[in-house]
Amino acid sequence: MNLMAPFLAHASDQENKVRLSPVKMSTKNSTDLVEYVDKGHSFLPAIPNTQRSQIEDKLHSQECTIAFLLEQAFRIKEDISACLQGTQGFRKEELLARKLLENHIQTITSIVKNLSQNIEILEDQIRVRDQAATGTNFAVQELNSRHLQGVGDLRGRVARCDASIVKLSGDIHFIRHEYRQIENTIQELISSLENVSKNLDMKSIMQNLLSKDVLYPSRKEITEKCPEWLQSHRESRPPEQFGKYQEQHRVMGKIRDQVMQLLGKIEASNSEQTSNLKMVQGDYRLEMNLLEFKLNSLSNNLYEEVEKNQKKTESQLIKYEKDQLGHMNSCLKLLQEKLVRSPSSRSGAAARRLGSATCPLPGEKSENKMEEKLLQLSSKLENFINTHKQDAELSKVKHIENKLCKKMSQLEKHIWDEIEKMQSEYQSGERCL
């Protein structure tokens, strides 16, 4: 029993050490089992779930094997202790049991040593993976910080762009308002031109239409007052905004130059149109002179024919009157002879009365009829001449009006094309800005 005491004490110490939690076990040396520090809260950052689950599965399997081996060792120890208690009198059996116990303890210690080595290897792997995870976390945090900085810069740029867009939209609204006013003035000028086109000269109308002070007063005022405003507000404005104002002034200068070029083109076209108009007026005057000459020749011919007809009718009337007078004289003579032959004086007096009453009637009626016919013919000729003149003048005036309307429409179309071209160039300049 005294010999078994150290062995039993050592076994009790081993039992106390073995009954600790398997999770809290590690090795200080190759033979002793000591308490392991709890690592429930790791100092390293979290690793991905897949790696963690694999490591936890391995640890759980090793813990299960350790628990199974410890239970088997305790069971063998109890069997050995029971065997030793039952066979205290037998020395050989005691030595055999001690050898068996020592062999069992050696196997257990070797197993625990191997398990501790495996646990250390797993811990090293966990540390390496945790370090890699920390590196990736730091890289992700750095990327997030850079992303946040980039987002902040983008927000600032977007805010500046929004402010500039609002400003440009205000400028565009102002320019559109001015453009609408110009369009209204142009429409008013066109309406006034249509109202007074029959009474005004073409040159004065085009000069009023193409006047710079009429078409572009607001733009001229802007281009004149903008440099003074920039010089006066240079210190009170930020440099970026002042640069934008200078850029806008430069763009307005370009637009003004383009407008001046367009006005030069319009003036050139106006001069060309005036020259063409003068040529047309010269042609018109020549045609009018020719028409007047033709009308005069026709009127002279008509007057000559009328005079000829009048003389012919007068000669025919005179001849007819002579024939009628001769016939009436012969009739009167016959009546006088008959009256002289008749015994009654009343019949003679009646014959005289009848002769005096009936003789002048046919000549007077025929003269009146001829005068009425001549008056009617002269009035018809005058009406025909007047209507012919009026029709010719109206046709010529209509032809000239049609020509002028066509030229006006062409000129108006050209002006609108130039205005649309200027507007498209202005919009392209705004897009470039």
Which of 56-60, 329-333, 376-380, 404-408 has the highest average model confidence (pLDDT)? 56-60
3-state secondary structure of 35: strand
pLDDT recorded at residue 119 = 87
Using CA atoms, how far apart are residues 237 and 322, in angstroms rounded to an integer? 116
Considering the domain architecture, whether residues 218 and 302 belong to the same structural domain is answered as yes
pLDDT at 298 over 70: no
Considering the domain architecture, whether residues 156 and 107 belong to the same structural domain is answered as yes
pLDDT digits (tens, 9 = 90+) for 113-147: 888 888 888 888 888 888 877 877 787 788 778 87
pLDDT recorded at residue 115 = 85
Considering the domain architecture, whether residues 126 and 251 belong to the same structural domain is answered as no
> At 96, is the pLDDT very low, low, confident or very high (cuts 50, 70, 90)?
confident
Q: Which of 108, 141, 161 is the last residue of a domain?
A: 161
User: Which residue matches tokens 């009256």?
Assistant: 339
Tell me the pLDDT of the chain averaged across its residues: 67
pLDDT recorded at residue 332 = 63
pLDDT recorded at residue 39 = 43
pLDDT recorded at residue 118 = 87
pLDDT recorded at residue 315 = 73
Residue 71 vs residue 306, higher pLDDT: 71
Length of the chain: 433
Torsion, Cα of 315, 319, 321, 322 (10° steps): 140
pLDDT recorded at residue 276 = 75
With a pLDDT cut of 70, the percent of the chain lying above it is: 48
With a pLDDT cut of 90, the percent of the chain lying above it is: 0
Considering the domain architecture, whether residues 83 and 18 belong to the same structural domain is answered as yes
pLDDT recorded at residue 125 = 86
Considering the domain architecture, whether residues 205 and 139 belong to the same structural domain is answered as no
Of 383, 227, 209, 236, which is closest to residue 302 (Cα–Cα)?
383
Residue 19 vs residue 278, higher pLDDT: 278
pLDDT digits (tens, 9 = 90+) for 189-216: 667 666 655 554 555 554 554 454 555 5
pLDDT at 271 over 70: yes
Considering the domain architecture, whether residues 89 and 216 belong to the same structural domain is answered as no
Considering the domain architecture, whether residues 77 and 210 belong to the same structural domain is answered as no
Which CB contacts under 8 angstroms, 24+ apart, belong to 29-37?
30/109, 30/113, 31/109, 31/113, 33/112
325 inside domain: yes
Task: Provide the β-strand partners of residue 26.
Answer: 34
Quote the domain boundaries for residue 24: 4-36+47-161
Instruction: Write the burial class of residue 206 (CB in 10 Å: 0-12 exposed, 13-18 middle, 19+ buried).
Output: buried
